Amino acid sequence: MSQQRPVLELENVSVAYDSDKGPVQAVNRVNLTLYPEEIVGLVGESGSGKSTLAYAIMRLLKGSAYLAEGTIRVMGQNVYNLSKKELRQFRWSQMAMVFQSAMSALNPVMTVEEQIIDTLRTHRRDMSLSQARKRAEELLNLVSIDLKHLRSFPHQLSGGMRQRVVIAIAIALDPAFVIMDEPTTALDVVVQRSILDQIQEIQRYVHFAILFISHDFSLVAELASRVAIMYAGRLVEVTNSGRLQLLENHHPYTEGLLRAIPKLTADEVTIEGIPGYPPDLVDLPTGCAFHPRCPRVFADCMTDRPELYQIEDGLVECHLFKGAKEVHYV
CA–CA separation, 209 and 36 (whole Å)? 5
> What is the x/- site pattern for ligand SF4, positions 280-299, by CB under 6 A?
--------x-xx--x-xx--
Check binding of 319 to ligand SF4 (CB under 6 A): yes
Check binding of 309 to ligand SF4 (CB under 6 A): no
What's the length of the chain?
Answer: 330
> What is the x/- site pattern for ligand SF4, positions 231-270, by CB under 6 A?
--------------------xx------------------
Q: How far is the CB of 308 from ligand SF4 (least distance, A)?
A: 11
Check binding of 306 to ligand SF4 (CB under 6 A): yes
State which residue, 106 or 232, has the beta carbon closest to ligand SF4.
232
Check binding of 169 to ligand SF4 (CB under 6 A): no
Element spanning 189, H or E: helix 189-206
Percent of the chain as helix, strand, coil, to the nearest 5: 35, 25, 40
Radius of gyration of the chain (CA): 21
Check binding of 318 to ligand SF4 (CB under 6 A): yes
The answer to whether residues 27 and 233 touch, using CB atoms and an 8 Å cutoff, is yes
Q: How many angstroms separate the Cα of 49 from the Cα of each of 138, 151, 242, 327? A: 35, 38, 24, 22
State which residue, 23 or 295, has the beta carbon closest to ligand SF4.
295
Check binding of 160 to ligand SF4 (CB under 6 A): no
DSSP 184: T
Q: How far is the CB of 312 from ligand SF4 (least distance, A)?
A: 18
The residues that touch ligand SF4, with contacts defined as CB under 6 A, are 251-252, 288, 290-291, 294, 296-297, 301, 306, 318-320
